[in-house]
Amino acid sequence: MRLVEVIALPNGLEARVEDLSRTIAADTASVVLVVRVPVAVKREYFEEAADCEKTKRIFGPEIVFEYRNERTFVPAGEREALFEEFLAAFKKDVLPYLSKDQFPGRYVLSKHREIVKDPWKYPAAD
């Protein structure tokens, strides 16, 4: 793993861009871009304090949003160019969404809805 860039977002979040690419054979590689954005679970996102506590109990005080783009069996000479292409696409298409003021609250609430919708996945939800 190689930390490529840390992007400070206007909504106070931070996007950590990582390169998890690796060599598969002498002439081929797996190109992997991973972006992680930790989002704090805050009481202000919830109508009920109990929902906030339940979400923290399941996911912890932070929930990490993760974006991943990868391609395998890339010719070794194209590895860097493809990674840069992945990064440019992320910045153009996904970064504006992550930068919105509403993103942190909506993301945390979506994770809470997962708990409510599929409680069997989260045994500590009871």
Mean pLDDT, range 92-114, rounded to an integer: 98
Strand ranges, E, within 9-61: 14-19, 22-25, 28-40
* Domain total of the chain: 1
Query: In terms of residue numbers, what domain contains 71?
Result: 2-125
Residue 1, pLDDT score: 83
Q: pTM to 2 decimals?
A: 0.91
Distant-in-sequence, close-in-space partners of 53: CB < 8 Å, separation ≥ 6: none
Q: pLDDT of 12-66, one tens digit each?
A: 999 999 999 999 999 999 999 999 999 999 999 999 999 999 999 999 999 999 9
Q: pLDDT of 112-125, one tens digit each?
A: 999 999 988 987 65
